[in-house]
Amino acid sequence: MLQELFKNTKEPLLNIYFTAGYPQLNSMPEILEGLVNSGVDMVEIGMPYSDPLSDGPTIQNSSSIAIKNGITTDMIFDQLSKCPSNISKIMMGYYNAVYLYGVEKFCEKCKDNGVSGVILPDLPIDIYLKEYKGIFEKYGISNIFLITPETTESRIRYIDECSTSFIYAVSSSSTTGKGTGIQSAEGYLRRLKGMNLTNPLMVGFNISTKEDFDFASTYTAGGIIGSAFIKHIAGSKNLTQDTETFINSIREKK
């Protein structure tokens, strides 16, 4: 499904991250409705974790609020099952939660609930290949790997070989929401474009405005916005409407 999305869409793709269970325990349907209405291509559902090492203060804070709200992995799947839509869905989280949930059970639940990709930044590729690749394939779940400006060319090529939908290109060596400016990644994005990789690239980290998104999209298939969106919906009284307002500020409705 992810593969088809990339194949069939000529326009830059917009992927929005939000933390499940935030701002309220049951906010997911409203947020998803806004995202679907405003024509977002992909959603990345964050599974909150108490110790998110790759995340800056914004996503850390949304995660700890969500945990306080009482969110669990099962509840995330339950919420997803209640708001079916055709939008491409990815789950993003840390390995520990998936490990404790059981990798096979997790993949099965993903499949049942229309999730076609998973991002686990702290699951090493060699362990994935050795232990879990078969399980992911059995349920048709694509494991999405990250690359950064520090990743060597040979490793990027290796990750490209291991990827089955797209590669998540982190725009700077940083935690999320650092706001160092996407423009400084130009050399890196240009280099990536020149590598003619098999899998499409989506750029994440440091994208918060239309300009950032357009800039990233010049070199890649599109961009991922997380922290900026989380900030936007903090304290929202009308999540669906506020979500649409945010998306429309990034990209005109298709």
Partner 1 sequence: MKIKVCGMKHPENINAVSQCEPDFMGFIFYKKSPRYVLDKTLVFAKEMNPNTKTVGVFVNSPISEVLEIVQEYNLNFVQLHGNESVDYAKKLYNAGVNLIKAFQVNKNFDWDKIKDYKPFVNYLLFDTATKSYGGSGLKFNWELLRNYKEEIPFFLSGGIEIDDAEMIKEIDLPQLFAIDINSKFETEPGVKNEELVNKMINTIRMKSKYQVNDKGFYGEYGGAFIPEMLYPNIKELQESYEEIIQSDSFQEELQALLKDYVGRPTPLYYSKRLSDHYKADIYLKREDLCHTGAHKINNALGQILLAKKRNKKRIIAETGAGQHGVATATACALMGLECVVYMGAKDIKRQAPNVARMKMLGASIVPVTSGSQTLKDATNEAIRDWINNPTDTHYLIGSVVGPHPYPDMVAKFQAVISKEIKNQIKENPTHIIACIGGGSNAIGAFYHFLEDEDVELIGIEAGGMGIDTPETAATLALGSQGVLHACMTTVLQTEDGQVIEPHSISAGLDYPGIGPQHAHLHKTKRVKYSNITDQEALDAAHFLSHMEGIIPALESSHALAYLEKMEIKPTDRIIINLSGRGDKDLETLTKTIKE
Map 61-107 to HEC letters. Answer: HHHHHHHHHCCCHHHHHHHHHCCCCCCEEEEECCHHHHHHHCHHHHH
Taking residues 177 to 216 in sequence order and writing x for each that binds partner 1 by CB under 8 A, - otherwise, the string is: -x--------------------------------------
Q: Taking the CB of residue 159, how many other CB atoms lie within 10 A of it?
A: 18
- Any contact of residue 94 with partner 1 (CB under 8 A)? yes
Please spell the DSSP secondary structure of 13-72, one letter per residue: EEEEEEETT-SSTT-HHHHHHHHHHTT-SEEEEE---SS-TT--HHHHHHHHHHHHHT--
User: Could you tell me the two tokens for 95?
Assistant: 């390995």
User: Could you tell me the two tokens for 177?
Assistant: 């929401």
Sites for partner 1 among residues 100-119 (CB under 8 A):
100-101
Q: Which stretch binds partner 1 (CB under 8 A): 32-40, 94-102, 103-111, 182-190?
A: 94-102
CA distance 213 to 141: 27
Q: Which stretch binds partner 1 (CB under 8 A): 90-98, 105-113, 135-143, 191-199?
A: 90-98
Number of residues that bind partner 1 (CB under 8 A): 37
Taking residues 44 to 73 in sequence order and writing x for each that binds partner 1 by CB under 8 A, - otherwise, the string is: -----xxx-xx-xx--x---x--x----xx
Which of 1, 37, 95, 111 binds partner 1 (CB under 8 A)? It is: 95
- Active-site residue (options: 55, 212, 242, 244): 55
Taking residues 117 to 146 in sequence order and writing x for each that binds partner 1 by CB under 8 A, - otherwise, the string is: ----xxxx--x-----------------xx
Let me know if 30 is a catalytic residue: no
Q: Which stretch binds partner 1 (CB under 8 A): 15-23, 29-37, 92-100, 135-143?
A: 92-100
> Bridge-partner residues for 202, per DSSP?
168, 222
CA distance 174 to 211: 20
Let me know if 55 is a catalytic residue: yes
CA distance 9 to 228: 25
Indicate which residues carry an active-site annotation: 44, 55
Can you give the binding site for partner 1, defined by CB under 8 A? 49-51, 53-54, 56-57, 60, 64, 67, 72-73, 94-97, 99-101, 121-124, 127, 145-148, 150-152, 155, 170, 173-175, 178
